[in-house]
Amino acid sequence: MEYRTLGGSGVQVSTLCLGAMMYGPAGNNDEAECAAMTHKALDAGINFIDTADRYSMGISEEIVGRAIKGRRDNVVVATKFYGPMGDDINMQGGSRRWVTQAVEDSLRRLDTDYIDLYQMHRPDPRTDFGDTLAALTDLVQAGKIRMIGTSTFPAELIVEGQWAAERRCLERVRCEQPPYSIFTREIERSVLPTCAAYDIGVIVWSPLNGGWLTGKYRKNSDWPENSRATRNIVSAKRWDRENPVVAHKLDLVEELNALAAEVGCSMATLAYAFTLAGPPGPSTVRGARGARTTAG
């Protein structure tokens, strides 16, 4: 396993990060299998696990916490806050009120004394980002979290955070987690150059573009049963073959499949190689739903 430094933090993380979004009812409710996948990843040298409070409404964090028992000191644990976690209107966002409660909830679910990387899942238009950083800085000083991160933030807000940290003597954001794949390369325009300028680490999510780059969605084949294409009723248009975007993706998938066959690898391997060889670094989040996924 290859390891890279997470921005300017000095922390070494594996180039593959185990994503636990599918741990729990949202994906795989078999905790024993989730634990086995986690142990297999750790045994393979992966030392980086990413989850969030919103994943299966906290159950993912609980599963991760139990799975790494006895190995906690060897794992860089990343989780996130922001999305609604209850009926109370204030149980969400980036306010000091919520951040201080959310971290305690995550610490309890993960059954740990500290979180290595605490990430704001999305920007909060209702809260000054500098105020959120001030609350997170207090958590760093209290030893509850080690590093601050963001996810899917635009370049201008990343810069605003760096300026606020310098102006108010706050902890800097050390990591940004944006979507990136062969199909989604928008971050190359401004987010990646911004992160490079401020020595901010980058962990990319959705390197398989929501399953499109696995090779299982093909132009002349039916959608696989129990896949995102057949289960995602709310976003049915995203999988409608008459949709020009979908039709274009299917054409590209055929070209990529031919390229993967030419070099002797799976399309998923080709997709991961693209993100790991490209400019983002240091890590790519690889989600796991079943044992076969981890083995790939």
3 among known catalytic residues = no
Spatial separation of the C-alpha atoms in residues 247 and 237, rounded to whole Å: 12
Q: Are strands 76-81 and 282-287 parallel, antiparallel or unpaired?
A: unpaired
Q: What is the 3-state secondary structure (H, E, C) of 164-225?
A: HHHHHCCCCEEEEECECCCCCCHHHCCHHHHHHHCCCEEEEECCCCCCHHHCCCCCCCCCCC
Is the CB of residue 66 less than 8 Å from the CB of residue 31?
yes
Spatial separation of the C-alpha atoms in residues 268 and 169, rounded to whole Å: 43
Q: Which residue has the tokens 């002349």?
A: 220
Spatial separation of the C-alpha atoms in residues 153 and 186, rounded to whole Å: 12
Longest dimension (CA), the chain: 57
Of 23, 55, 217, 272, which is the active-site residue? 55
Q: Which residues are catalytic?
A: 55
